[in-house]
Amino acid sequence: MASRKLLLLPGDGIGPEAMAEVRKLVALMNERFGAGFETEEGLVGGSAYDAHGQAVSEADMAKAMAADAVLFGAVGGPKWADVPYEVRPEAGLLRLRKDLELFANLRPAICYPALAAASSLRQEVVEGLDILIVRELTGGVYFGEPKEIIDLGNGQKRGIDTQVYDTYEIERICGVAFELARTRRNKVCSMEKHNVMKSGVLWKEVATATHKARYSDVELTHMLADAGGMQLVRWPKQFDVIVTDNLFGDMLSDVAAMLTGSLGMLPSASLGAPDAKTGKRKALYEPVHGSAPDIAGKGIANPIAMIASFAMCLRYSFGMIEEADRLEAAIAAVLADGLRTADIAAPGAQTIGTTAMGDAIAEKFLALSAA
């Protein structure tokens, strides 16, 4: 079997604690199922700054470029609050996203039945929810030029950001959304603001043309992004895949995420374009949460977001669909058994730590694999 090259970048705070649980799963899949994962390790964020004075070293960047997939923990913490801006912990993640050209950010919002009652929305609104937000990650208003604050000379200043999208950027992100929809319930809703933004007019036009040219078997609808936010909290189950730009995606994916509960549960993937020769995409998988300095080192972090990110890696980088399904089923099963880390436990309920949760998921995964 061809080897599967994984780079693990645990990072700071609870990153290494959560990554330890993925390392166990990787070893188990190699030993029991001959999965052929070859892992390398590297430093990112504050830990890389401490070791190399950079948020990610050139050597680790080279490992990331050579890997089939990167698993990223979390970066940051008060210890590095005053380091120079260019080498702040987040710069490591931004460099990885930029150099690997990860333009598609995938954020699933899945509501595990066992946690439906814990949502801030009514149980029937979220139970069984399974939607995927596809956010454009490398363009739009976060990167457009000019981007500056200018002094108007009359005691006033002007802050300028520029929302800008070219046809190819919209085409490729919509292409990712349509392709993913084909593996799910075959529906895409494209969100923009064509009523007030030129970039929205172009977005809608290109989404429609891309659909017509290559993906007419998928159902495409359009929604204004503000209405989309409203519909996400009113009846989220109407959606399958939502595709949207960088800014709207930033907000809508956070809204969708909180439909399902704790930050400790939420995985994400960022994908690049397929390589012309090999067809493989560069990819980075990471939990949505940060380094949680308030609980770091206590052994109580929820490893599920990190483990679910690994499940996405199995699915999207290695085409290991059955294994991904089984790992996600193992997570659902331990939750159904009532196991909870502190962040997802009802007040006063019994809780388990990071290692015990990781072990329980690994055991369930094995049991499901044997079944």
Residues of the shown chain interacting with ligand NAD in the complex, contacts defined by CB under 6 A? 14, 74-77, 93, 263-264, 286, 289-295, 301-302, 305, 343
Residue 250 bears catalytic tag: yes
Residue 217 bears catalytic tag: no
Query: Quick one: 70 or 206, whose CB is closer to ligand NAD?
Result: 70
- Alpha-carbon span 309 to 269, nearest angstrom: 7
The answer to whether residues 192 and 199 touch, using CB atoms and an 8 Å cutoff, is: yes
- Least distance in angstroms from the C-beta of 295 to ligand NAD: 4
- Least distance in angstroms from the C-beta of 109 to ligand NAD: 16
Single out the catalytic residue among 142, 187, 237, 325. 142
Q: Where are the beta strands (DSSP E) in 17-129?
A: 37-41, 69-74, 104-110
Query: Quick one: 27 or 263, whose CB is closer to ligand NAD?
Result: 263
- Least distance in angstroms from the C-beta of 154 to ligand NAD: 36
Residue 165 bears catalytic tag: no
- Least distance in angstroms from the C-beta of 173 to ligand NAD: 21
- Alpha-carbon span 356 to 361, nearest angstrom: 9
The structure tokens listed for 355 are 């290692």
- Least distance in angstroms from the C-beta of 262 to ligand NAD: 7
The structure tokens listed for 136 are 């454009």
Query: Quick one: 4 or 289, whose CB is closer to ligand NAD?
Result: 289
Single out the catalytic residue among 63, 193, 204, 364. 193
Q: Which residues neighbour 248 within 8 Å (Cβ) at sequence distance 6 or greater?
A: 135, 191, 192, 193, 225, 228
Query: Quick one: 190 or 291, whose CB is closer to ligand NAD?
Result: 291
Query: Quick one: 80 or 318, whose CB is closer to ligand NAD?
Result: 80
List 74's β-bridge partners, or say none.
Answer: 11
Q: Could you say which DSSP state residue 293 is in?
A: T
Single out the catalytic residue among 99, 130, 161, 254. 254
Which amino acid would we find at residue 228? G
Residue 193 bears catalytic tag: yes
Residue 198 bears catalytic tag: no
User: Residue 9: what are its φ and ψ, rounded to 5°?
Assistant: -120, 90
The answer to whether residues 106 and 180 touch, using CB atoms and an 8 Å cutoff, is: yes
Catalytic residues: 142, 193, 226, 250, 254
